[in-house]
Structure 1
């Protein structure tokens, strides 16, 4: 995953500080969950977070995640834990994430959570 992130940085898709912060995010998640991130779904979540931070830095705004997805996460009882985790990960960056991005990041973390993996 580090090599893929490096390619995004070298191509100018993400800035150097986002690259460094995302390496910390990967390490934090793998340490927290005691296992490597799943290759495909993990990369999708990491790439989305990096791109969300870059969109926010550039002032680009996307539509928020549909409320039905957030209600599904809330119904699982995991929303408060995922919000704390997401906030902790985002604290590594000087970029303030646009609020419309949060639901997507929470959905990705929900899908990656060991409780959701079979």
Structure 2
């Protein structure tokens, strides 16, 4: 899947929920206010990151390991492939930054996606 395939407004490729989910709860979409708060908080460099279903197995450079979750593992995996080295977490805001992309993660199980309102245009 290419980056262009999941950035189309109002379109969600098969197997993803990138634009079909309207939730900003942990593990879903990243709101710009949440992103700004995370950016101003302490960050930690990620040494390794593996996607296993909706689970993210995060190894920090200091050896600590975390398990977070995200609703769209296919999109996350694509972005991880594009940026294999620049990965940072903002633990206080359960945010993951991969290159220029941000992901709102959940530290525990998350609620199901909320379907986006249909576009009547």
When you count helix as a share of all residues, which structure comes out higher? 1
**Greater strand fraction, Structure 1 or Structure 2:** 2
- Pair in the same fold by TM > 0.5: no
Q: TM-score, normalised by structure 1?
A: 0.29
